[in-house]
C-alpha cells in the first residue's frame, strides 16, 4: 500500500465494513433474552458476539493506519460519521425481519471476506482469512432457517415474504459505491461492489429457490443508499446514543 490517496481509499472501505459489523452486531444482541426459542436466542447472541469481535478486528486495522482507538471510534462518533449501510441500522422488528436481514447481509459479508483474502493489503487479507471460517457458520444458520421457515406453513411463508420484500431494497444498499471505488479496485484492495453484488445475487437465489419464497426483482435502481456517505435513518443516532450512554459519562475513564 503506497501513497496517501490509496490509504484513504483503504480506510473508507475498512470503515464501511467495520461499521456494518458493529451496528448489526449491536442490533442482533438486542434479541438476548427475548428470542423466539432459547436456541435462537443463543444463536443470535453468538453471531452478534462474532460480529462485534470482527468489527473490533477491523477497527484495530484502522488504528494501525493512524485512526483513533477502537473504543473512541465506536463510541464517540455521531451518525453522520458512520458509513454502514442503512439495512443494518433498522430496528430488529419482529424475528422474521431480523432473520431475513441476517440472511441477506451475511451472504454479502461472507463473499466480501472471501474476496478480501486476496487483498493487496496484506493485514486485511490475513484478518479476512480468519473471519471467513466464522462467517460460514452464520450463513449456514441463516440458510437453514430461511429454508425451514420459508417452507413450513402458510403463516410462516407469508411473514417471511413480507420481511423479504421490505428488506431487499435496503440490502441493495449494501453495494453502494464510494467515490474511491475505482481506486480500491485498481490498487487490488478489493474486487469491487459490482462483483460482490453479482455473486450475492447468485447465492441468495440459490437458497430462496429451495423455498416457497419469491425473491423480489433485484433492481439496483431501487437500492436504498446513502449510508456509505453518512446519510442514515433516524434509528442510527438513537442506537448510538444508547450505545454510548455510559461511555460518555466519563469518556477518559477505564470501565
Q: Which residues bind another protein (CB under 8 A)?
A: 26, 29-30, 32-42, 45-46, 48-49, 52-53, 56, 70-71, 74-75, 94-95, 147-149, 151-153, 155-156, 159, 209-212, 239, 242-243, 245-247, 249-250, 253-255
- Angle 122-149/193-208 helices, nearest 10 degrees? 20
Sort 3 into a burial class: Cβ within 10 Å, 0-12 / 13-18 / 19+.
exposed
Q: How would you label 202-214 residue by residue, b for 16+ Cβ within 10 Å and e otherwise?
A: eebeebbeebebe
CB of 246 to another protein, least distance (A): 4
Q: Measured from the CB atom, is 221 or 254 closer to another protein?
A: 254
Q: Is 160 exposed, middle or buried (0-12, 13-18, 19+ CB in 10 A)?
A: buried
Q: How far is the CB of 147 from another protein (least distance, A)?
A: 6
Count CA within 13 A, CB hemisphere, residue 143.
Answer: 15
Nearer to another protein, 29 or 120 (CB): 29
Which residue, 70 or 227, is less far from another protein as judged by CB? 70
Query: Given the complex with another protein, which of 30 and 67 has the nearer CB atom?
Result: 30
- Least spacing, CB of residue 210 vs another protein, in Å: 5
The minimum distance between CB 145 and another protein, in angstroms, equals: 9
Smallest separation, CB 107 to another protein (Å): 18
As given in the structure block, the three cell numbers for residue 46 are 453468538
Toward another protein, which CB reaches closer, 117 or 233? 233
SS3 content of the chain, % helix, strand, coil (to 5): 70, 0, 30
Amino acid at each position: 500500500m503506497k501513497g496517501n490517496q490509496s490509504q484513504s481509499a483503504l480506510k473508507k472501505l475498512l470503515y464501511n465494513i467495520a461499521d456494518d459489523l458493529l451496528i448489526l452486531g449491536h442490533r442482533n444482541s438486542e434479541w438476548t433474552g427475548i428470542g423466539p426459542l432459547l436456541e435462537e436466542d443463543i444463536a443470535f447472541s453468538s453471531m452478534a458476539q462474532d460480529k462485534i469481535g470482527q468489527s473490533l478486528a477491523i477497527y484495530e486495522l484502522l488504528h494501525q493506519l493512524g485512526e483513533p482507538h477502537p473504543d473512541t471510534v465506536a463510541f464517540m462518533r455521531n451518525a453522520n460519521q458512520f458509513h454502514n449501510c442503512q439495512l443494518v441500522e433498522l430496528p430488529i422488528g419482529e424475528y422474521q425481519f431480523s432473520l431475513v436481514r441476517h440472511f441477506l447481509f451475511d451472504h454479502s459479508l461472507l463473499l466480501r471476506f472471501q474476496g478480501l483474502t486476496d487483498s493487496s493489503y496484506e493485514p486485511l487479507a490475513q484478518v479476512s482469512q480468519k473471519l471467513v471460517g466464522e462467517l460460514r457458520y452464520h450463513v449456514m444458520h441463516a440458510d437453514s432457517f430461511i429454508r425451514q421457515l420459508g417452507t413450513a406453513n402458510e403463516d410462516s411463508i407469508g411473514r417471511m415474504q413480507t420481511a423479504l420484500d421490505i428488506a431487499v431494497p435496503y440490502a441493495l444498499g449494501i453495494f453502494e459505491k464510494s467515490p474511491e471505488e475505482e481506486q480500491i479496485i485498481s490498487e487490488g484492495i478489493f474486487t469491487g461492489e459490482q462483483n460482490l453484488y453479482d455473486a450475492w445475487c447468485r447465492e441468495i437465489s440459490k437458497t430462496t429457490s429451495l423455498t416457497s419464497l419469491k425473491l423480489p426483482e433485484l433492481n439496483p435502481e431501487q437500492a436504498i443508499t446513502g449510508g456509505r456517505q453518512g446519510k442514515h435513518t433516524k434509528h442510527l443516532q438513537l442506537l448510538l446514543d444508547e450505545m454510548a450512554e455510559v461511555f460518555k459519562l466519563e469518556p477518559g475513564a477505564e470501565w
